[in-house]
Amino acid sequence: MVTARAPATSANLGSGFDTFGVALSHPADTVSVERAAETTIEVSGAGAQYIPTDPDKNVVGAVAEALDAPAHIHIDKGVRPSSGLGSSAASAAAAAVALNELYDRGYSAHDLVPVAAEGEAVVSGEAHADNVAPSLLGGFTVVRSDDGATSVDADLPLVACLPEVVVSTRDARRVVPDTLSMADHVETVGNAATLTAGMCRSDPELVGRGMDDPVVTPARAELITGYADVREAALAAGATGVTVSGAGPSVLAVPEPGCRRAVAAAMVEAFADAGVGARAYQTEVGRGATVL
Ligand SMILES: Nc1ncnc2c1ncn2[C@@H]1O[C@H](COP(=O)(O)OP(=O)(O)OP(=O)(O)O)[C@@H](O)[C@H]1O
Ligand SMILES: N[C@@H](CCO)C(=O)O
């Protein structure tokens, strides 16, 4: 048996819609695999009751198929599904790493990005790599449709606050505007470049400033009860930037050094004031998937 762990991730980071992603040190999914004639799936942990065990409907089934690596696969969910924290991507990345090892395929983490993205296609209809890339490679990642993923390590504290709100990825994509003005384009490019420089320098001030996004985040914020107050509370408690994590409903904040606990508490309290239960992960930029 081979067991692998792959971390939760936060895609977009505001200015990098469908492009940027970051690995969180926790939470994570753990996937164990054993050789079998046909793929079977078992799921335990956070939100297991909402996750299909049919290999045609679970992301790990598509990964096993892509690697021609049938197995009995046990997924222990640490990342709640539909959280905005790359739940399906964590399973896909862990399965890709575990099956690669089990069948001695010899692929690198970069080689496994399109493989795990095939798993994501089971959920969204498209082979998005903006969550699987950071889950496999760790750190901060940039994906482009035609040439894989680029990654850079960063040393940065983060808070991911997960509210008890349901946001469907379908709705979250439907509200994204089809077009943007040249002024918004210029602002977004400036923010994205600032964020990238901040990640390369592990500079929370630059990263937070670069998370601003005039196009996608304002539209999606409407779907998350209490978002505006949570954002204000996090900034007042010492966050340098706040945005919607992935398609939501989680909210991601970058705290100034020494402020992580206060930012987490302020976000949970602001959600509570809006009548929404929430939990906050005090985390940081983390490593990619590993065999345990
Ligand atoms: N192994 C799996 N783990 C989690 N969800 C899975 C898995 N396989 C299939 N799914 C389905 O995927 C959907 C949730 O996945 P999704 O990646 O969209 O969650 P998310 O954490 O909100 O991601 P994002 O950060 O991309 O917004 C659910 O409908 C769930 O049933
Ligand atoms: N980039 C994707 C991530 C969620 O799958 C989105 O924001 O819709």
Residue-wise pLDDT for 221-233, tens only, equals 999 999 999 999 9
Q: Which atom of ligand 2 is nearest to the CA of 169?
A: 8
The pLDDT score that the predictor gives to residue 147 is: 72
The annotation status of 89 as a binding-site residue, yes or no, is yes
ipTM for the whole complex: 0.96
Structure tokens at 33: 């695999």
pLDDT digits (tens, 9 = 90+) for 165-210: 988 888 899 999 999 999 999 999 999 999 999 999 999 999 999 9
Q: Which atom of ligand 2 is nearest to the CA of 12?
A: 1
The pLDDT score that the predictor gives to residue 230 is: 98
Q: What CATH number is given for 2-152 in this structure?
A: 3.30.230.10
- Given a contact cutoff of 8 angstroms between Cβ atoms, the answer to whether 177 and 219 are in contact is yes
User: What are the helix and strand counts (H, E) for the chain?
Assistant: 10, 11
The pLDDT score that the predictor gives to residue 51 is: 96
Burial of 105 by CB count in 10 Å (0-12 exposed, 13-18 middle, 19+ buried)?
middle
* Catalytic entry in 3, 9, 39, 120: 120
Fold category of 157-284 in CATH: Alpha-Beta Plaits (3.30.70)
Residue whose pair of structure tokens reads 């050789």 in the numeric block: 35
Name residues of the chain where pLDDT drops below 70: 146
pLDDT digits (tens, 9 = 90+) for 233-245: 999 999 999 999 9
Cβ-count burial 198-224 (b if 16+ within 10 Å, e if not): bbeeebbebbbbbbbbbbbbeebbebb
The pLDDT score that the predictor gives to residue 193 is: 98
Amino acid identity at 77: K
Handedness of CA 21, 71, 126, 113 (dihedral sign): positive
The pLDDT score that the predictor gives to residue 170 is: 82
Segments making up each domain of the chain, as ranges: 2-152, 157-284
The annotation status of 86 as a binding-site residue, yes or no, is yes
120 is catalytic: yes
Residue 151's nearest CA partner among 136, 165, 138, 141 is: 141
Burial of 169 by CB count in 10 Å (0-12 exposed, 13-18 middle, 19+ buried)?
middle
Residue list, ligand 2 pocket, CB within 6 Å: 11-12, 18, 128, 130-131, 169, 172-173, 246-247
